């Protein structure tokens, strides 16, 4: 799970915090939460498709 | 070791297909239908491309 | 091993924050004030985001 | 050779399949084949130049 | 220090040498020197902020 | 180990110089003359930049 968390942080920080300010704004926080949920869904789906393919 | 290579491949594919398929501003924590279709196609086409490369290389060596 | 993970995290953060904060043409060997502020904020906000993710995942598992 | 194949797949998929559809189109397939050949030539040339340089 | 040097080379070459010619021009050399100094300062500052944060 | 570092450096250089030199749409399986020249120059200038960095760092330490 560590690699997944690292990737989520990297991709979502890149997307959601274009100009880092003195604190996370509420829209940045919302984006980070949604991005995390979306990334985990994407990972689940990629995983399932990939496993199906290599079987 | 086999298992860990599958896992690391899965993480790489997620990064590649995330970049190709999740391109618009994030406005929800759910994948929409287009994103879901794109992600599945992305994995399948990546595997197709992969197999084509390996096959092509094998042919080149036999010539 | 702890020390080496801190070092590699530091290198990654430098690469991430360099991309976000040093965006204009390089005309001097010194960081200007805006770049310095941006770099510090970048590290701090990255750590904030990190903690938020871990907390959110923990909550999801407990549900 | 495994790293070379992985790099070819990553770079050429990125270039030749911008929007993955339900199958590889013939122009995507052509692009993938040409890209692979080109990448191998590039690798050979970079390799030769690099070896010459460090000797 | 090896990773730092590798990162400096990669980032600064990317920035300062957009179209590699038959030798480094003097403006490319100036850019490379300034970029290296800037990258080291950035690394020092990120390092200090990060250490402060995890303590 | 020396050999494997040369190989991995070669792969990284190919990725860096591919990005800089193969920028137009792929229409043939052959490198054209401009691409060939660009790739050689890219490796040579990367090595020049590398040496300049190391030299500069050595000078800074001696001061």
Contacts of F47 in chain D (CB under 8 A): 50, 53-54
Contacts of C21 in chain A (CB under 8 A): 20
pLDDT at F1: 72
Binning pLDDT at 50, 70 and 90, where does residue F62 land? confident
Could you tell me the CATH number of the domain that includes residue B6?
1.10.287.810
Closest CA to F53 of E17, B15, B37: E17
pLDDT at F61: 81
CB E31 within 8 A of CB E11: no
**pLDDT score of E1 more than 90:** no
Q: Name residues whose C-beta falls within 8 Å of residue F30's C-beta, 6 or more positions apart in sequence.
A: D37, D38, D41
Task: Locate D48 and state its tokens.
Answer: 């030769």
CB atoms D43 and F14 under 8 Å: yes
User: What's A37's DSSP letter?
Assistant: H
pLDDT at A1: 78
Q: Smallest CA–CA separation between B17 and chain D, in Å?
A: 9
Class assignment of domain D2-54? Answer: mainly alpha
Give the whole-angstrom CA distance, residue C53 versus residue A32.
Answer: 8
Binning pLDDT at 50, 70 and 90, where does residue B18 land? very high
> C4-49 pLDDT, tens per residue?
888 999 999 999 999 999 999 999 999 999 999 999 999 999 999 9
**pLDDT score of B63 more than 80:** no
Own/partner pairs, A19-23, CB within 8 angstroms, 24+ separation: A19/C20, A19/C38, A20/C17, A20/C20, A20/C21, A20/C38, A20/C41, A20/C42, A20/C44, A20/C45, A20/C46, A21/C41, A21/C45, A22/C41, A23/C45, A23/C48
CB of F5 less than 8 A from some CB of D: no
> D1-55 pLDDT, tens per residue?
789 999 999 999 999 999 999 999 999 999 999 999 999 999 999 999 999 999 8
ipTM confidence score: 0.91
Contact pairs from chain A to chain B, CB under 8 Å: 71
pLDDT at C58: 87
> B23-48 pLDDT, tens per residue?
999 999 999 999 999 999 999 999 99
pLDDT at C1: 72
C-alpha distances (whole Å) from B54 to each of A43, B58, D4 are 26, 6, 11
User: Which residue in the block uniquely carries the two structure tokens 């938020």?
Assistant: C52
The count of C-alpha atoms lying within 13 angstroms of the C-alpha of B52, restricted to the half-sphere facing its C-beta, is: 23
CB atoms B45 and D24 under 8 Å: yes
Of B12, B17, B49, the CB nearest to D24: B49
CB atoms B57 and D5 under 8 Å: yes
CB atoms F41 and E10 under 8 Å: no
Instruction: Annotate E15-50 with b (16+ C-beta within 10 A) or e (fewer).
Output: bbbeebeeebeeebbebbbbbbbbbbbbbebbbebb
Q: Do chains D and C touch (3 or more CB pairs under 8 A)?
A: no
Question: Into how many domains does chain C fold?
Answer: 1
CB of F13 less than 8 A from some CB of E: no
> A4-25 pLDDT, tens per residue?
999 999 999 999 999 999 999 9
Q: What is the mean pLDDT of residues E1-24?
A: 94
Q: What is the mean pLDDT of residues F12-39?
A: 96
Range of the domain at B11: 2-62
């Amino acid at each position: 799970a560590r690699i997944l968390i690292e990737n989520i942080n990297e991709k979502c920080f890149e997307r959601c915090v274009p100009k880092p300010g003195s604190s996370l704004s509420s829209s940045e926080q919302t984006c980070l939460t949604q991005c995390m949920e979306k990334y985990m869904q994407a990972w689940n789906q990629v995983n399932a498709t990939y496993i199906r393919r290599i079987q | 070791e086999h298992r860990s290579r599958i896992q690391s491949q899965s993480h790489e594919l997620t990064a590649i297909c995330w970049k190709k398929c999740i391109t618009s501003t994030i406005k929800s924590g759910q994948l929409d239908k287009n994103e879901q279709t794109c992600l599945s196609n992305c994995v399948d086409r990546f595997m197709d491309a992969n197999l084509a490369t390996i096959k092509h290389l094998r042919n080149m060596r036999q010539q």
